[in-house]
Structure formats: C-alpha cells, structure tokens
Amino acid sequence: MNFKANHPDELNEAADELLKFADKQRIFLFFGNMGAGKTTFIKSICKALGFHDSVSSPTYSIVNEYPLKGALIYHFDFYRLKNQEEAYDIGFEEYLDSGNYCLIEWPEKIGDLWPDSYIKVEIEEIEGGSRIIKAQVFNP
C-alpha cells in the first residue's frame, strides 16, 4: 500500500486504507525520522478504529492504552529505551500476544523482539510538508 497525504486531513483517509490493507493484522511497526508524523498518523488510525478521545505520544510512559468496544489499542513509543531489556520489563511480549492492536513507534530499538507477523509502515516527509506512507505485510 502506498499513500501520499498532502495535508494532515488526508491522514484519516490513509488510516482507513491502511486498516483495509491490514485486514485482520493488529500489529503495526512505524518507521520514520523524528517529526515525520508517526504519532499524528497513529491518531488517525485510532480515530478510524473508533477511539475519539485524546491520543498522545507515550514517549515517557512507553505505552498508552486506549479502550475500544471489546478491544484495546496499545500505543508504544520506544524512542527513549536504552536497551531491549526495558521492553521485557514492561511485558511487551504479553501485549503482542493479547490479540489487541499494537501500534509501535521506534521499533528499531527492539529489533530482536519483533513479532513474526506485522505491518511495516514507513512515513517519509517530502517537500512541502506532504507525507508518503508505505505499508507492507510481513509474515513468516
């Protein structure tokens, strides 16, 4: 899936497209430079899933939890992790095995802990403030 968002309002459409593309997959790894728009796009994904309250980066808490009807969204930000052991300490593997949505920013910080199956989402800011969003499925 490839999507170009020229304006932040278009991220809602991109979120809908991503969720259709993902089908039943609930684990998403988000890649992009600082300021590329990972958290902003995750806000649109949460809205598309039916969560309409405040969504913010869990930079200091590492994980935020957003309730849905019959499910949860776990939003991770591993930017500040010093090592993978810190991800173990919060029970990261249990979150992955929960069957709930896991939206993971800065997954490169926990490379050895990636699940076998996930959606890789790359966000790139291009000239003029537009974003290119690329998604691909990774399955063993």
Helix 38-49 vs helix 11-22: angle between axes, to the nearest 10 degrees?
70
**Tens of pLDDT, residue by residue, the chain (140 residues):** 999 998 888 999 999 999 999 999 999 999 999 989 999 999 999 999 999 999 998 888 899 999 999 899 999 999 999 999 999 999 999 999 999 999 999 999 998 899 999 999 999 988 888 999 999 999 87
The first and second tokens of residue 128, run together, are: 């003029």
